[in-house]
Amino acid sequence: MGKKIFTILFATMMVIAICSSCGNDDETKNDIRTGEEQVDQLIDQLILNIAQMCVDKKNGEFYLPVSSKDEAYRFCESLTGEKWDGKNRTVTLADAYGTVMLKAGSVEGLYGTVIFRDVRHLDDMTLHLADPEYIKNDNYGIDQFVNISVIGTCTNPKCKYVYTKNAAGVGYMPSGYKCDKCGSKLNVTTSWGGR
Ligand SMILES: [Zn+2]
């Protein structure tokens, strides 16, 4: 009898010890984020930077001008919430929300490439982080690039689809400002302008 009470007491103390160590440990902070929270952060960062992005009309790949390797790394960390040292790495999002591949830059001026695969709320895309000079000169004509901006986002928290247009005003807005992925109302941004 006495021994059993001691065992229960000990087990309770262990549970308390384990719980308090979880709460204090910063290392486990990323691991307990849900896939939804991870994708939220990712889309927030993409929208923050989308006005600076260009898209190569030939292959549909995106370019974000950055001034240095460090800036490219910081951008990737702001996307995934995890440190990146510039080596090839695949970040698997929680709850089967997709993968984000980080690839080291292979040529001078190209600091890294981010490949989004099956990420919830997002079309698959390839985003190169490159020096502005590289984007202007290297193998591509500047006329192939068009700047893009957000014109609307779906208000349905389960969808969050983002609608964009390019600098020439070419974009796609579904009729009635209703998301054509889920039918919910769109939050239309001022850059659509209605012009
Ligand atoms: Zn939607």
CB-CB contact of 151 with 157 (8 Å): no
> 76 alpha carbon to ligand 1 midpoint, in Å?
26
- Residue 29: which of 17, 18, 38 has the closest Cα? 38
> 63 alpha carbon to ligand 1 midpoint, in Å?
26
Start-end of H helices in the chain: 2-24, 35-49, 69-80, 132-137
pTM greater than 0.75 (yes/no): no
Q: Provide the residues around ligand 1 (an ion) whose CB is within 5 A.
A: 154, 156, 159, 161, 179, 181-182, 184
CA distance 90 to 93: 10
Return the beta strands (E) in 57-136 as ranges.
62-65, 89-92, 99-104, 110-117, 125-130
> 182 alpha carbon to ligand 1 midpoint, in Å?
4
Q: What is the pLDDT of residues 11-60, one digit of tens each?
A: 555 555 444 444 444 444 446 899 999 999 998 899 889 888 888 877 88
> 119 alpha carbon to ligand 1 midpoint, in Å?
15
CB-CB contact of 100 with 42 (8 Å): yes
CA distance 79 to 34: 14
Q: What is the pLDDT of residues 128-160, one digit of tens each?
A: 999 998 887 755 555 566 778 888 999 999 898
- Residue 152: which of 176, 168, 120 has the closest Cα? 176
Question: Tokens representing 126?
Answer: 């390839």
Q: How buried is residue 16: exposed, middle or buried, by Cβ count under 10 Å (0-12/13-18/19+)? A: exposed
Q: What is the pLDDT of residues 86-121, one digit of tens each?
A: 899 999 999 999 999 999 998 899 999 999 999 988
> 140 alpha carbon to ligand 1 midpoint, in Å?
34
> 152 alpha carbon to ligand 1 midpoint, in Å?
10
